[in-house]
Amino acid sequence: MLKVGIIGISGRMGLELARIGVDRHIKNQLTVSAATVQSGDASVGRDIGAVVGRDLIGVVCSDNVVHAVKSSDVVIDFTIPEHSLYIAKLASIERTAYVCGTTGFTSGQMLTLQEYAQSTQLFWSPNMSITVNLLAFLVKKAAGLLNSSFDIEVLEMHHRNKVDAPSGTALMLGKAAAEGRCLNFDDVKIFDRSGKRPKDGIGFAVLRGGGVVGEHSVIFASNEERLELKDVVYSRAVFAEGAFAVLDWLVKQTPSKLYSISDYIESIAK
């Protein structure tokens, strides 16, 4: 049975991952091999089942991420870029598969992730939702079919505590639009706006407030009409479910690239 370690279960996403992991452990669908929290967290030494309001499973929370990686076939991590890079490094050394849903990586950090992916099965996606990734597919198609008279704008809204802006998903959608237009994303992205809209620019608008889980819209606007493609997420559980969905598939892949949700979707669609 697949041994799964869950990194950082104190945060919103970490708790969702822990709940699903424990439920599947109880149903004998997988084995939760480890669960980590920050040093000094009140959950250190507590059974992960108790932490998420489920039956005890005999696995206690720890701040030892090295042990978590070593004792698992695959680890799941939705934390922060610096910590995730450390986990990726450990996973590459131990040849442990790694599913990462962390957002906010710099371009240099992404290159480092790609280097680690040469040594182990490494999967990264800024959004594990199937519908959001379908949205990216549709955005790329629409951008290619609609001519440059249609301006492209990406609008996103998340809860008040989200740190990175624009969100990783918004950036993914903007890149999909740029690919559809055969444009270099870095040349056309607009994060800070002043003055007249430049030709071929892809603008981003960011909203933060309340407890919004995630809303993303891509707008194609001409002088005569407007097309809006939108995805709304009501529960973080969809991201956690997506992370667990790829586990069995990922461990069968060859370490050669940084795998994404698109690779998974294409594989199961064949």
> Which residue stretches of the chain are H helix?
12-26, 48-51, 65-70, 81-94, 107-116, 130-145, 168-180, 185-188, 237-245, 247-250, 261-269
Catalytic sites, residue numbers: 158, 162
Cβ contact 6:21 at 8 Å: yes
Q: Characterize 21-54 residue by residue with b for buried, 16 or more Cβ atoms within 10 angstroms of its Cβ, and e for exposed.
A: bbbbbeeeebbbbbbbbeeebebeeebbbebbeb
DSSP state of 197: P
75 closest CA partner among 16, 33, 103, 109 = 33
Paired strand residues for 233: 214
Burial class (CB in 10 A: 0-12, 13-18, 19+), 176: buried
Cβ contact 130:105 at 8 Å: no
CA dihedral (77, 67, 28, 260) positive or negative: positive
